Amino acid sequence: MNYLVVVLGPTGVGKTELCLQIAEHLHTPIINADSRQIFAELPIGTAAPTPEQQQRVKHFFVGNHHLQDYYSASMFEQDTLSLLGHLYCQNNVALLAGGSMLYIDAVCKGIDDIPTVAPAIREMMKRRLKEEGLPALSEELKKLDPVHWEIVDKNNPRRVVHALEICHMTGKTYTSFRTNRTKERPFKIIKIGLNRARAELYERINARVLDMMEKGLETEARKVYPLRRLNSLNTVGYRELFSYFDGSIPCEEAVRQIQSNTRQYMRKQLTWFKKDASIKWFHPDNIKEIINYIDNSI
C-alpha cells in the first residue's frame, strides 16, 4: 500500500518548518502545492522555501516556472501523479504540502478534464481583457454560460477569462466540462490540517509581511512590475505594491493592505478546508503528536 501524507493549512500558520521535520522523519522529499511558489521570480512575496531549506530536504515544484508560463491545477495534477509514480518506486510514503486549495484538491480528488486552451485563444482573450476590461467580458460570459456566471468570482479576471477561453475554443459551455466527480487514486491519502487561534494567525501574518518587506519584497515587486498585467501577478503582495508604484497609495498603505488582504485570504482558505471532514486538525507546535498520527496511519 502506498500513502500520500498531505499537510495543509492557511498562510502564515507555520507549515514550512513542520513539513521539513516530517519529510526528514519519513525520508521523503516535499511535493509543494502552492500555486505561486512555482514562479522563480517571486521567492520573497510567496514565502517560498529558502535555498537552505531546499538543500535540507528536496522540494518539487518550487521556482520551476516563470511568470509568462501558462500553468493550471489540471497540469499540476498530471505532473504530481507522474512524479508520485517515480517516488513510490523508492518509498511507499510521499509528502504533499501547501495551501493552494485547488492544487491540493486536484491531486486528492481529481479535477475535471477541461481542454487545454490553445495559445492563439489565450492571446486573443488576454488582448480583449486589456482592451475591453473585465466587466465587458463578464457580461459576455453571462450570455455564453449563465450557469457558470452565477457562481464564478466576477472580480477575478483569471476565472472569467478562462471560462470564456473554453467557450470560444470548444463552442460549448464551461459548465459542460465540470462534473465534480472524485477520481480514485492508487494510494491512501492522510490529510493533516494545521491551525492556530485566529488572533495568533493575524499577528503572525502581520509580522511576516513586515519581514518580507525587510527582506526585499519591494525590490522584488519592482523587478516584475513591467509584467504586472499577467495573471500570475494578480496576487496579494504584488497588486498592492503595484498600486504604490503607480502613485495611487503610499508605501505604508500598501503594506497595510497586504496584511489585510493576506488575512482575508487566510480566512478563505480555512473556510474551504473546513468543508473537508477527512482532515485531522493539529496545532503546528504539536510535532510529536502529528508524527505519531502519521506513523499510526501507515
CA distances, 45 to each of 18, 217, 264 (Å): 20, 6, 16
Range of the domain at 210: 3-112+181-297
- Model confidence band, residue 111 (pLDDT cutoffs 50, 70, 90): confident
CA gyration radius for the chain?
Answer: 20
Query: What region, left, alpha or beta, does residue 197 occupy, with left being phi > 0 and alpha being psi -120 to 50 degrees?
Result: beta
- Candidates 121, 122, 102; CA nearest to 112 is 102
d(CA 3, CA 46): 28
Q: What is the CATH number of the domain that holds 173?
A: 1.10.20.140
- The grid coordinates of residue 161 equal 477569462
Residues 171 and 203 in one domain: no
Q: State how many domains the chain has.
A: 2
Q: What's the average model confidence in pLDDT over 265-275? A: 94
Is there a single domain that holds both residue 8 and residue 81?
yes
Q: Give the pLDDT score at 179.
A: 67
> Residue 297: pLDDT band by 50, 70, 90 thresholds?
very high
Q: What are phi and psi of 6, to 5 degrees?
A: -115, 115
Longest CA–CA span in the chain (Å) reads: 57
Q: Which residues pair with 65 in a beta bridge?
A: 39
- 150, 177, 204: which is the final residue of a domain? 177
**DSSP run (H or E) holding 176:** none
249 shares a domain with 209: yes
Residues 196, 80 within the same domain: yes
87: which 3 cell numbers? 517516488
Residues 173 and 35 in one domain: no
Greater confidence (112 vs 139) lies with 139
Residues 6+ apart with CB under 8 A from 117: 70, 162, 165, 166, 169
Under DSSP, the state recorded for 187 is S
CATH number assigned to the domain comprising residue 261: 3.40.50.300
pLDDT digits (tens, 9 = 90+) for 168-189: 989 999 888 876 678 899 999 9
Of 152, 133, 131, 130, give the one whose Cα is nearest residue 141: 152
Q: Residue 204 phi/psi, 5° resolution?
A: -65, -40
Whether residue 188 sits in one domain with residue 88? yes
Q: Residue 149: which residues within 8 A CB-CB, separation 6 or more?
A: 138, 141, 142
Same domain, 108 and 222: yes
pLDDT band of residue 74 (cuts 50, 70, 90) is confident
State the Cα–Cα distance between residues 113 and 176, nearest whole angstrom. 11
Q: Are residues 15 and 78 in the same domain?
A: yes
Q: Which pLDDT does position 217 carry in this prediction?
A: 98
200 and 225, same domain (yes or no)? yes
78 pLDDT exceeds 70? yes
Q: Which of 42-56, 143-157, 223-237 has the lowest mean pLDDT?
A: 143-157
- What's the pLDDT tens digit per position in 209-254? 999 999 999 999 999 999 998 888 989 999 999 999 999 999 999 9
Say if pTM beats, i.e. exceeds, 0.75. Answer: yes
Check whether residue 137 and residue 13 sit in a common domain: no
77 & 141 share domain: no
Q: Give which of 244, 253, 284 is closest to 12, Cα–Cα.
A: 284
pLDDT on residue 239: 95
* Same domain assignment for residues 87 and 217: yes
- Among 4-8, 46-50, 131-135, 151-155, name the one with the lowest average pLDDT: 151-155
Give φ, ψ of 224 to 5 degrees: -100, 0
Cα(105)–Cα(289) distance, rounded to whole angstroms?
25
